[in-house]
Amino acid sequence: MGIQAVSAGRFLWRTTSDASYLEPAELQNAPPLRCAFTTRHAGTSGRALNLSVDLGQRAEVLADRQRVLYALGLAQKTLYTVRQVHGNHVCVVDAPVVQHGLHGVEADALVTALPGVPLGVLVADCLPIMLYTSQPPVVAVVHAGRMGTYHQVVRKTLETMQSRFAVMPEQVHAVMGPAIGACCYTLDMHAVGPFQECFIDWQQYFIPRSAGLWTMDLIAANTAQLQTAGVPPRHIQAAHICTVCYNQHFYSHRAEGREAGRGMGIVALCPTSSVGE
């Protein structure tokens, strides 16, 4: 089955001359925001689309990031990213940050209420989660791999949205992009043990496979955290596209090792005429 068929319905497969990405179908006309989960393809150009400066020529990668922003109607905007460390720190991109920039900030989620300010997290198997509310307009993007999930980075992001922007979890919508699936994410006791100790519901998202081995369902684990925090189930959707099974379209650390490029989950409130450059 082709990727277009897999993602049909709730996600649109967009291809421009410079970028190929998935866009949640519900967002194409509706709330004033942009969201994309990039693939490994630089659109019809035939080039690869790696968005990590650690894994490519810096100037090329920065140019590719701008090409993706252009495709999203965010041309000439500054893309905000952080040093991702598989933790649960949340970076709020507010007016002082826009003024001074982000320099070496370690975090695994970004939040903003500013229009025209794109936020991005890099992924190659880890789960990118986009959170948004329309009233008030607030967006966030979260990097949730195994350890980020263990540290409950998505719950921490919801708490930050509430404390800084008075957004209640009941208002929040969540969209989860492509990530390594429960079909492929095999882990041993070393990885699973900490979850057994800290999460009473761990068996909901670790599936026993053979003696001492489980597979982890990142979507199920993060769905549980979202729902426990108060996000309504009807507000939560996921692409359910495995980056290992569909490695021809998405970067995968498991499938390719250390040299794997990185895709990106990107979200932004649409620019307005009154705010921005």
Which ranges of the chain does DSSP label H, i.e. alpha helix? 3-6, 58-71, 95-100, 146-150, 153-165, 189-198, 218-229, 253-256
For residue 245, give the amino acid letter: C
Q: Tokens 């699936």 correspond to what residue?
A: 181
Contact 120, 264 (CB under 8 A): yes
Is 183 among the residues that bind Zn ion (CB under 5 A)? yes
What pairs with residue 141 in β-bridges? 110, 130
Please choose, out of 12-20, 52-60, 224-232, 235-243, the segment that lies near Zn ion by the rule CB under 5 A.
Answer: 235-243
Shortest distance in whole angstroms from residue 247 CB to Zn ion: 9
Shortest distance in whole angstroms from residue 256 CB to Zn ion: 14
Q: Which is nearer to Zn ion, 245 or 266 (CB)?
A: 245
Is 248 among the residues that bind Zn ion (CB under 5 A)? no
Is 242 among the residues that bind Zn ion (CB under 5 A)? yes
Q: Which residues, 6+ apart, have CB-to-CB distance to 240 below 8 Å? A: 6, 181, 219
Q: Which is nearer to Zn ion, 184 or 270 (CB)?
A: 184
Shortest distance in whole angstroms from residue 218 CB to Zn ion: 11
Count the residues of the shown chain that bind Zn ion, applying the rule CB under 5 A: 6
Shortest distance in whole angstroms from residue 29 CB to Zn ion: 32
The two tokens of residue 274 are: 């009154």
Residue whose C-alpha is closest to residue 111's, from 125, 131, 126, 127: 131
Is 245 among the residues that bind Zn ion (CB under 5 A)? yes
Residue from 92, 239, 244, 269 that binds Zn ion (CB under 5 A)? 244
Please choose, out of 87-95, 126-134, 232-240, 242-250, the segment that lies near Zn ion by the rule CB under 5 A.
Answer: 242-250
Q: What dihedral angle (degrees, nearest 10) is formed by the CA atoms of 16, 22, 23, 26?
A: 130
Q: Which is nearer to Zn ion, 171 or 222 (CB)?
A: 222
Q: Which residues bind Zn ion (CB under 5 A)?
A: 181, 183-184, 242, 244-245
